[in-house]
Amino acid sequence: MKILFVDASRNGWGTEQHLVCLAAALAEGGHTVSAVVKRGSPVAAMLQERRIRTHATAFRGGADPRGVLTTINAVRRDSPDWIVTNRSKLYWTVWIIARLMGIKVAIFRHLPDIRRWHTRCVLPRLVDRFFVVSEFARQRLIAQGSPAAHIRVLYNPVDTDRLLRRPGDRRRIRSTLGLSPRDFVVGFVGRVEREKGVGVLWDALAPLMAGSSRIHLLCVGDGPESKPWQLLAEDAGVASRCHFAGWTARIGDFYAAMDLLVAPSIAPETFCRVIAEAQASGVAVIGARIGGIPEAFMPGHSGLLVEPGDVHGLRHLISGLYNDPGLCAQYGDAGRRSAYKHFAAGHIHDRFVAALATENTPNARHLEPAPRTVVVDTA
């Protein structure tokens, strides 16, 4: 099968990581994969690192003539069977190109809402495949009028091979960060902003850090709350135990240093890729009971759920895992097995290829087993 991905992003966050991981898995599976990308973007660099053929262009919006022309030329040159995009600004552009050039089109939606009626209710009927990355997202779109029979669930793929913690990884990265083997490291990965619950995490963690010199915070990401968070750490006298690594495309290097990852979002997330990644690295997780987060792990088996915004509840859960390292390790081991079973790139590759190969019928819309916990918030 020949597949052309199209992406205009200048970032390298979860949506872009999804594209790169899926493209690499398809290439490793023997398919011919290429991509039209924004020149100089993290996506371009990551795809090139994986030896995926790229067509670079100066994308600036979905209707940028340069991007349209590059995509048309890529279709002529590569003769793909499918054209795929994750980028909402490109949905209609890609659909028009695909229809004019006689190829099939598949679209991924990574956010839980679609503002425009015609994109929410009409486009899923027009494209050949319309994917969302959680049952939460599917139910939310259906509640907003999207056609249920045309929306398929396919979870985020993670590169379990790259995330596998190897002997020496933990010691190496901890040494780089100035951490000892005995330190208990609570991790946060993602956009450092209010909606991600960074304030909730800090309010829960600060008293615990004040009570034990072994507890450290490791933040991997950036955003508007990065500097305020660092100032709070300085004011609390624990700045030396708060490690702000900034954003990196090589997040996997940092999971090895963590004992626990916390995803304390107070706004609905479609899935929460970082939880699946942390599990693949054998890290215990705590996630907020909101959006698609509960679908990203096995609550009570590979981690714990907390109500969004519940500072005292979160503090209690972190304290419990800090005081019971055996249980924390047990959750990490269970998480690794769960991630390999549900989210490994090879597993998602197989389901994606099967979805493209089967007839687009209502009975084929579910690509994943029924989620263990689904929280639908249509507010």
Domain boundaries defined on the chain: 2-157+344-364, 163-342
Give pLDDT, residue 361.
56
Mean pLDDT, range 249-253, rounded to an integer: 81
What pLDDT does 142 receive?
97
pLDDT of residue 230: 97
Q: Which of 20-24, 89-93, 242-246, 365-369 has the lowest mean pLDDT?
A: 365-369
Among 55-59, 345-349, 365-369, the range scoring the smallest mean pLDDT is: 365-369
Mean of the per-residue pLDDT values of the chain: 93
Give DSSP secondary structure letters for 22-54: HHHHHHHTT-EEEEEEETT-HHHHHHHHTT-EE
pLDDT score, position 375: 43
> To which H or E segment does residue 373 belong?
none
What's the pLDDT band for 267 if we cut at 50, 70, 90? very high
Q: Do domains 2-157+344-364 and 163-342 have the same CATH topology?
A: yes
pLDDT of amino acid 12: 87
Mean pLDDT of 325-343: 96
Q: Is the pLDDT of residue 367 over 70?
A: no
pTM for the whole structure: 0.92
DSSP state of 225: T
Q: How does 339-359 read in b/e, with b if 16+ C-beta sit within 10 Å?
A: bbebbbbebbbebbbebbeee
Residue 288 near residue 263, CB atoms below 8 Å: yes
Average pLDDT (228-237) is: 97
Q: Does domain 2-157+344-364 have CATH number 3.40.50.300?
A: no
Tokens of 73: 């030329």
Instruction: Please tell me the predicted confidence (pLDDT) of residue 60.
Output: 83
Q: Domain 163-342: which CATH class?
A: alpha beta
CA-atom Rg of the chain in angstroms = 21
Average pLDDT over residues 134-154: 97
Give dist(CA 284, CA 321) in Å, integer. Answer: 9
User: pLDDT for 292-304, tens place per residue?
Assistant: 999 999 999 999 9
Does residue 379 have a pLDDT over 50?
Answer: no
Round to whole Å and give the CA distance between 166 and 94. 41
C-alpha closest to that of 88 among 65, 57, 112, 53: 112
pLDDT score for 248: 84
Token readout for 183 is 């330190």
Average pLDDT of the segment spanning 20-29: 97
Between the ranges 157-166, 195-204, 357-366, where is the mean pLDDT highest?
195-204
Give the span between the Cα atoms of 194 and 183, in whole angstroms.
Answer: 27
